Structure 1
Amino acid sequence: MMMTTNLRSLEEKSRIAIVGAGVFGLSTAYHLAINGFTDVTVFDRSPYSNALYDQHRGCDAASADLNKILRASYGNRAEYQRLAYAAREEWKRWNNELRMIRKEDLPDGLEGVGDLYTECGFLRLSDSPIHPLSEKELAGLSNLEKQFPEYRLKNYIISDSSEEERARTDGWGHVLDSMNWSGTGVLDATAGYVRADKACVWLAKEAKQAGVQFIEGKLKGNVVNLKLVESLESLSDSKIVEGVMTADGVFHPADLVIIAAGGWTPYLVPDTRKLLETTAGSIISIQLPPLQERPDLWDKYSGKNWPVISQGHDAQVYSLPQIDGTIKIGYRGTKFTNYVSLPDNTRISVPVTAYTTPSQTHVPVQAIQEIKEFIRRHFPDLVTLGISYTRLCWYTDSIDNDFLIDYVPGYHKTLFVASGGSGHGFKFAPVLGQHVLDSLREQETDLTKIWRWRDVPQGRRNGLEEGETGPRVLLKQTLATEADWMSVMNV
């Protein structure tokens, strides 16, 4: 018997199931709820409500992280530049709202957090002292001049003496003086970092207050497949999703299923595999000595004194200020893949983390070597501390680094995907869901046009054309051991 409820247009009373409680799922759920949708349920296998998005308590999505960069440096991609600055305003509003809550009324996970967004500045350095500014950096500055001239004045080319002087006049001399760097780069005073795990806790709280339901856990919240209508005589060329099946065997009916499952999206929706691939950046942590032993280091590397730093093309290596004594440094010069066989013998890349089977927390030696050199250059007083923790952060790269937010063709508008963050989606958390809603309503905007379902481009496609024969496969790498962590001078 064919279900007809799934064939209705999207309505405020539609039953909507969102698979994934990372930033794409959270923001979508929140904006659906505040725009009048009354039956929204988010599913996730991670215990976010109890673990509070803590990467050390069973949470392994890319969103479950210590901190993320907020920047509007997008080269000639003016759409993302505008979106980033719109998000920045909302992050500031969230800061203000958080400050208004009495300490005793703060929800679990937000006690003592301070601000969700810290505008500490972002120092983007060229590959080496002799390299000029990249074409992408120059294009970004040019776009700022056209769209946000007031923000162009807050981006300083540090190899230009007049702009350096302007940076000092504007109060950024402490950043320039702290860096051991004599080459080119840009100090962006409109950028900084956001507390990723805490922001997710905040957004989940807001979504729940707006009426969103959450179902979590390895059994109850783990969506294992989509339930399709089996007989469609009048729609022989189309499928209809009528809900999701979770690992506990329960069927959850839905008029619309939104897959926002990050690195698990290509696994759940095979149709996306030509457009998306699951890849991993490499993350290390340096743990500072206790505050009472080295208050100088805690102060020096805090967000009030130390900027976000990146070096190389597309932030090949980057670092963020310390949070609770932990300094995070990442390598994304190569994003690694993890191919496995599915029951139908298809081979795709899927996440492998501390909480998967098998588990994995060690990163390739290649990443460690690049990060060690970065530490020697920019953090010489931390060299003797060594590395305290490593992990792989699994993203979902799209073919062109644009998000994939659209109805999946062939499912009669009962299946929608919101994914393809490509390592730069988190900063948009406060506003992303509103634009997902535009796509759900099939409104054509500058953003929905570039995020829609698209053809596979010819030539190089962000590495997706390599497949399992390429050099990025994790099994082809030598993984660093804890012995490699201790001496960062041993490069």
Structure 2
Amino acid sequence: MAQQRKTLIVGSGCFGLSTALELLKRGYQDVTVIDRAKTLPAPDGASNDLNRVVRTSYADVFYSKLAKDAIDLWKTDEWLDTYHECGVLVLGSPDSTVDYKDQAYLHDLAMNLRIEPLESQSALRKVFPPEAIVGSFAYHTGYLNRDGGWANAGQGISILMSKVTALNGKIITGKGVTELIQHGQSLKTTGVRCSDGTDFEADLVVLATGSWTSSAFPDLPMGNIFRATGHCLAMIQLTPEEGDIYRQCPVILDFESGFYIFPPNEQNLVKMAIHTAGYSHSIGPQKISTPRTATSDPETGLRIPRANVKQLRDGLRTVYPTLAEKPFVATRLCWYNDSLDGDWVIGYHPQSENSLVIATAGSGHAYKFLPVLGRLVADAIESKLSPALVAKFALDRTPTHVDESRHDEVQELDLDQLCTSDDLQ
């Protein structure tokens, strides 16, 4: 009976497309994905980017094991060359009170991954090719996990879209949802209404709308478990000769400062970012944090606060001091839907009579799970999740901890403090 349910998925990012594919693999006959964007992958979606870190290094063993399962699939031919296994250098401070790195190390070690402890500056520097000019790594210790790297984010989403359509799933663009179709005082959902006046009827609606979830559905009771936050990134352009050198470097992830950086891609672009609590952008009468992107604000939607430009350059200088003299060729505020505890939200809305599933709150660490993420949502739809995971991902849960990978407080975005082109030089 479940396979006969007409299923509508709102959102074509990680959660939406991976769920569609998994349901189709399980024999669901009528699966439709709709998205507000006119072209896909969505230009301003968090899932559409140069790259995303693929790592097993988590303080939570659940995500460590799930990431290992995902990496095993990333390596298969069906994902082509999306995944690049360059290794992940995990850094921290020996004096830090944050034990995220140490817990992650123990989990990686327990899974028999290719781990190299690096307890000295000289050991850390030997990770890099001799031609690369690197920082001193003073006051750092860490380890290299060779079973990790990065994934071409846009390419992975494009492959997933082709898989969905190959199994007769439908993907429809340019359909921004304005409201859920519900009846009376009940939250039982029978479809959605779009901004162009079209309605989509369904037996089951899955909201996989990422950082737009709260602002798109302000009247849907969802508590305060998550909110949209913008995170700063920047890119530099290397010469082909520099690209050949630094392409041999690992992804660097500093859990102490939050700074992380990728090796150059095929176009010799190097992306860097800071894993922090990010920025909110509160608008409307309810002051709901809402993504501000190049789509909503074409002139300044890609700009980041100038203070973060300096922060990114300082982080770059500690790792690759000579590259820090290059101008930033692009910046972006990448919008996540962050939960308070860093865990995802996956499951039926508790008041929807099993007609509405929420699949969101990627919290900046969902993309690496793209090959396996849909299994969790499909299991939630079919009531197959373990009781522990039901509680872990519940929309109405009471968080028992905070996301320990983020060390500061969310700030409200000040549009008067955005960078200009001069700040990027």
Task: Give TM-score, length-normalised by structure 1.
Answer: 0.79
Q: Is the contact between residue 175 and residue 306 of structure 1 (CA under 8 Å) also seen in structure 2? A: no
* Amino-acid identity (%): 29
Which secondary structure does the structure 1 equivalent of 2:119 belong to? coil
Q: Is 1:265 matched with 2:222?
A: no
Structure 2 counterpart of 1:346, from 276, 286, 302: 286
Are 1:138 and 2:102 an aligned pair? yes
Aligned 1:250-399 pairs, distance under 5 A = 250-269=198-217, 270-288=220-238, 294-302=239-247, 305-313=248-256, 316-323=258-265, 324-341=267-284, 345-357=285-297, 360-399=301-340
> What's the CA shift for 1:298?
1.4
Q: Distance in 2 between matches of 1:437 and 1:398?
A: 21
Of 474-483 and 253-262, deviating more is 474-483
Following TM superposition, by how much is the alpha carbon of 1:175 offset from its aligned partner in structure 2, in angstroms? 7.9
Structure 2 counterpart of 1:456: 398
Provide, for residues 77-131 of structure 1, a one-character-per-residue CA deviation record: whole Å limited to 9, x for no partner.
Answer: 11111100000001011xx2355xxxxxxxxxxxxxxx1101101112225xx64
Is the 2:88–2:144 Cα contact (8 Å) retained in structure 1? yes
**Partner residue in 1 for 2:14:** 23
Asked if 2 retains the 8 angstrom alpha-carbon contact of 1:159 and 1:184, the reply is: yes
Q: Name the structure 1 match of 2:178.
A: 224
Q: Distance in 1 between matches of 2:33 and 2:106?
A: 41
Q: Is the 8 A contact 1:126 1:133 kept in 2?
A: no
Determine if the alignment matches structure 1 residue 33 to structure 2 residue 24: yes
What is the Cα deviation at residue 462 of structure 1?
8.3
Q: CA separation in 2, counterparts of 1:71 and 1:213?
A: 31
Shift of 1:259: 0.3
Q: Matched residues in 2 for 1:405 and 1:462: separation?
A: 21
TM-superposed deviation, 1:224: 1.4
Alpha-carbon distance in structure 1 between the residues aligned to 2:400 and 2:324: 44
Give the conservation status (yes or no) of the 8 Å contact 1:16–1:256: yes
The structure whose Rg is larger is 1
Residue 339 of structure 2 aligns with an amino acid whose one-letter code is S
Question: In the TM superposition, what is the alpha-carbon distance from 1:284 to its structure 2 partner?
Answer: 0.7
* 2:423 maps to 1:481: no
User: How many angstroms apart in 2 are the aligned matches of 1:86 and 1:463?
Assistant: 22
Cα 1:278–1:176 change in 2 (3 A) is farther
One-letter identity of the residue aligned with 1:319: I
Residue 6 of structure 2 corresponds to residue 66 of structure 1: no
1:97 aligns with 2:83: no
1:116 aligns with 2:78: no
RMSD across aligned positions (CA): 2.8
Unaligned runs of 5+ in 2: none
Residue 396 of structure 1 aligns with an amino acid whose one-letter code is N
Q: State the Cα deviation string for residues 299-342 of structure 1 (Å, max 9, x = none).
A: 0122xx111112243x611111112121111123340000001x
Q: What is the CA distance between 1:357 and its match in structure 2?
A: 4.4
- Contact 1:24/1:433 (CA < 8 Å) preserved in 2? yes
| 1-structure distance, mates of 2:416, 2:13 | 28
Q: Which residue of 2 aligns with 1:186?
A: 143
The answer on 1:205 being equivalent to 2:162 is yes
Q: Deviations over 1:19-63 (max 9, x none)?
A: 1001110100110111101111101111334xxx3xxxx610100
Shift of the 196–277 alpha-carbon distance from structure 1 to 2, 3 Å rule, reads same
- When residues 476 and 461 of structure 1 are mapped into structure 2, their CA distance, relative to the original with a 3 A threshold, is farther
Partner SS state of residue 274, structure 1: coil
Specify the alignment match of 2:68 in structure 1.
Answer: 85
Q: Quick one: structure 1 residues 159 and 458, their matched pair in 2 at CA, closer, same or farther if it must change by over 3 Å?
A: closer
Counterpart residue identity of residue 290, structure 2: V
Q: Say yes or no: does 1:434 pair with 2:375.
A: yes
What SS is found at the alignment partner of 2:16?
helix
Kindly tell me: are residues 332 and 399 of structure 1, through their superposed partners in 2, closer, same or farther at Cα, counting changes over 3 Å?
Answer: same
Mapped to 2, the partners of 1:18 and 1:175 lie a distance apart of 49
Count of matched residue positions in the alignment of Structure 1 and Structure 2: 417
Displacement of 1:453: 2.7
Q: Residue 155 of structure 1 corresponds to which residue in structure 2?
A: 115
2:72 and 2:416 mapped to 1: Cα distance?
41
Question: 1:261–1:155: structure 2 CA closer, same or farther, 3 Å change rule?
Answer: same
Following superposition, the deviation at residue 449 of structure 1 comes to 3.6
Tell me the CA shift for residue 186 of structure 1: 1.6
Bigger proportion of residues as helix: 1
Distance 2:315 2:6 in 1: 49
Distance 1:227 1:330, change over 3 A: same
d(CA) in 2 for partners of 1:64 and 1:190?
23
Cα distance in 2 for partners of 1:426, 1:435 equals 14
What CA distance in whole angstroms lies between the structure 1 residues aligned with 2:262 and 2:209? 26
Please tell me whether the aligned partners of residues 22 and 200 of structure 1 are also in contact (alpha carbons under 8 angstroms): yes
TM-score normalized by the length of structure 2: 0.91
Aligned twin of 2:39: 48
Q: 1:447 to 1:459 in 2, by over 3 A?
A: closer
SS in structure 2 at match of 1:198: helix
Equivalent residue letter for 2:47: S
Deviations 1:131-170 (A, max 9, x none): 4695111112222343x1x21xx22221169x959x97xx
